[in-house]
A and B are shown apart, each in its own frame.
Chain A
Amino acid sequence: MERPTWAPEDVNVERPSVARVYDYYLGGSHNFAVDREFAEQVMQAMPDAPAAAQENRAFLRRAVRYLCGLGIRQFIDLGSGIPTVGNVHEVAQSTDPTAEVVYVDIDPVAYAHSRAILANNPHATVIRADLRQPAGVLADPKLREHIDFDQPVGLLLVAVLHFVPDSDRPADIVAGYSGAIAPGSHLVVSHMGAEGLDSSQDQALGLYKRSSTPIVPRTADELSSLFGDLTLVEPGVVRLSEWRPESPDEPAARENPALAAVARRD
């Protein structure tokens, strides 16, 4: 059906939302019974799910710190979800309180909640947009109030690209962003891997597949190809826990097939 752009969407809290399910994995209570029910089903199939979520979150923290270390002071978190402990602005602003952060999410509840959290933060904001439309996201006036595209940007696509099916041309989406950012900008990606999946992980993916937000796992090669002409920084596309661990005893979910990578625009 051709939907006019001004037609409003339903806010349906009767269906699980990936953002709130993720919050539940992380031990948050920003979720509803329907989200918890779905999360429990996944956890029944794959008890490691919360650990994997934690590992992903830890990667986000390491990556943002890495970018801060490179002098990057502005971030766009695409598919940011429900704000939870260790948010990008918390990590970035702990390095520089004036670091600018723009969260982008399409989930109306996540968007409303993020606004409440960020109401008093002059250097962080949230916009509601579909990350699959880079031109629309980058043209958002609220985003442009915070982001200076002449300066390097940290662009985060953390645990979100695997919700974009091939039919939506994820490489074009990434290119849409990477083409708009200044040299020295970095793209941070974590993504469900397609290699070394055990039966419990397959089962969990099956649950997502039947939801309104199916997950498309991708191989390391497939993920690499999404970066286009960006340059992968060391150590390239690796498992989450292998991406620049902060200490040898970094807690790691065993056998987590999720992948991580950071790439630079030269």
Chain B
Amino acid sequence: MGPTTDTPIGEIEAFSIGKMHIVQAGGFEIGVVRHDDNSFHAIRNRCPHKGAPLCQGSFGGTMLPSAPSELHYGLEQTVVRCPWHGYEFDLATGQGLFSNENMRVRTFPVTVRDGIAYLTGLPTQARQRGEAA
């Protein structure tokens, strides 16, 4: 893997808490969520199933595995659900949820310094290509 860099994506106040925001960085479209403790998660906006813009689906919780006829809602602020076929992924790990398929979406660490959020771990060359595009 080539050199990487921190890429600023904006002031943290620009990200409303608990909402999915889509940014362009490092040649990727990336969904970014700011939590109420000002921590962030970032996940690539591409579903590994059929290439859909994953982060333009719903973001929230889901129904947990339950006994027949019961519903239990949970995992609030955790589940990214694809707008096409409904596949669910863990925002923090990118891992597919409740599936017999071992699908995973790329995630990116986010750091905050002086009120600015940075995506880390993006490859420099990819970032440059992305900026040129």
Chain B binds chain A? no
Interface residues of B (CB under 8 A from A): none
